[in-house]
Structure 1
Amino acid sequence: MHERTANLLGAAALAVTDRVLTVAQRKVGVSASAAAALVVASASPGLSVSELGRRVGLSQSAAARMVDSLEQGGLVERRPRQGREVAVELTPKGRRAAASLLEARGSGLSGLLDVLTAGEQEHLAELLGKLLTRLYEDVGSAELLCRLCDRTSCTRGAVCPVGQAERDHGS
């Protein structure tokens, strides 16, 4: 049964990822990493290009190219900081795009969960919390693991399992 469960999880994970990324690309017309960057920048304004790249899993040079593209699209702007470092800030258009991405992601996932009863959804949330805690051990970064998360919905009335794993790891 374990082999079947693992296979079902893999198929579901891939299908959910495809669903989320397709919605993101259709809604805003950006790549998966750019969508993640918009969401991350909305939650943590003023990150450097390097830090933004780190949080979405890109090298510094790839992050710079991505920020160039977002800047050309009017979604972000660079603001000088100390030395050679530059802060990435969302423009009003970028803030709307990030909000739109989170809304589309949320509605797409909520629509998928409609096939489950409220009790099944609650049980699934518990199981997903365990899986995310385990995944944190592999990834080692809440920012990277949660790069497309709607952080407000995750912490409303509950403790984020990834944030808790990071706090536990730091102790």
Structure 2
Amino acid sequence: MHERTANLLGAAALAVSDRMLADAQRKVGISASAAAAVVVASASPGLSVSELGRRVGLSQSAAARMVDSLEQGRWVHRRPRRGREVAVELTAKGRRAADTLLATRGSGLSGLLDVLTSGEQEQLADLLGKLLTRLYQDVGSADLLCRLCDRAGCTRGAVCPVGQAERDRAQGERDHGG
């Protein structure tokens, strides 16, 4: 039974991810990592190239190449900060792209959920919350795990399970002096 459930979860997760990224890329015309970077930059303006890369799961050199490409496409621009550090800021085109990416992601996922009743959707939300809490234990970064999240949509009327897992971890570290 558990083997079947795990297989179904894996197939569904991959299909949902493929669908979500394909829809977003088709609408905006950028790679999956670039799409994540645009969404992250919209939620956290002024990140350094290194921090932006960390939040989307790229090395510093890969992040620099991605920001170069985004800058060439006029999605972002670099703004000097102290020393050699620069902040990555979205352009107007980048802000429109972030809005489009989140709207496309949301409508595509909502369309999938239409096959479930309201009660089933609530059950699924509870189960996904448990799974995301467990995934946070492996990933250890809410920024990375939620890089394509519509954060306002996640927290409207509820507590984000990933954010709560991160707060719980931080509290545990404070409680245990670490």
Same fold (TM over 0.5): yes
Deviation by residue 1:51-90 (Cα, 9 ceiling, x = unmatched): 0000000000000000011111111000000000000000
The residue correspondences of 1:17-28 to structure 2 (distance < 5 A) are 17-28=17-28
Please, which runs of 5 or more residues in structure 2 have no aligned partner?
A: 172-178
Secondary structure of the residue that 1:89 maps to in structure 2?
A: strand
Secondary structure of the residue that 2:109 maps to in structure 1?
A: helix
Q: Which amino acid aligns with 1:160?
A: C
Q: Which amino acid aligns with 1:73?
A: G
1:92 Cα deviation from its structure 2 partner: 0.5
What is the CA–CA distance in structure 2 between the aligned matches of 1:115 and 1:60, rounded to whole Å? 42
What is the CA–CA distance in structure 1 between the aligned matches of 2:83 and 2:27, rounded to whole Å? 36
Q: Which amino acid aligns with 2:45?
A: P
1:25 Cα deviation from its structure 2 partner: 1.0
Identity %, equivalent residues: 85
**Corresponding residue pairs, total:** 171
What is the CA–CA distance in structure 2 between the aligned matches of 1:92 and 1:30, rounded to whole Å? 16
1:146 Cα deviation from its structure 2 partner: 0.1
Q: Which residue of 2 aligns with 1:132?
A: 132
Please, which runs of 5 or more residues in structure 1 have no aligned partner?
A: none
Q: Which residue of 2 aligns with 1:152?
A: 152
What is the CA–CA distance in structure 2 between the aligned matches of 1:41 and 1:156, rounded to whole Å? 21
Residue 42 of structure 2 corresponds to residue 42 of structure 1:
yes
The residue correspondences of 1:1-171 to structure 2 (distance < 5 A) are 1-171=1-171
What is the CA–CA distance in structure 2 between the aligned matches of 1:167 and 1:34, rounded to whole Å? 28
Q: Which amino acid aligns with 2:58?
A: L
What is the CA–CA distance in structure 2 between the aligned matches of 1:66 and 1:44, rounded to whole Å? 17
Secondary structure of the residue that 1:78 maps to in structure 2?
A: strand
Q: Which amino acid aligns with 1:70?
A: L
Q: Which amino acid aligns with 2:95?
A: R
What is the CA–CA distance in structure 2 between the aligned matches of 1:17 and 1:114, rounded to whole Å? 17
Moved over 4 A (4+): none
Give the TM-score normalised by structure 2. Answer: 0.96
1:138 Cα deviation from its structure 2 partner: 0.2
What is the CA–CA distance in structure 2 between the aligned matches of 1:153 and 1:76, rounded to whole Å? 24
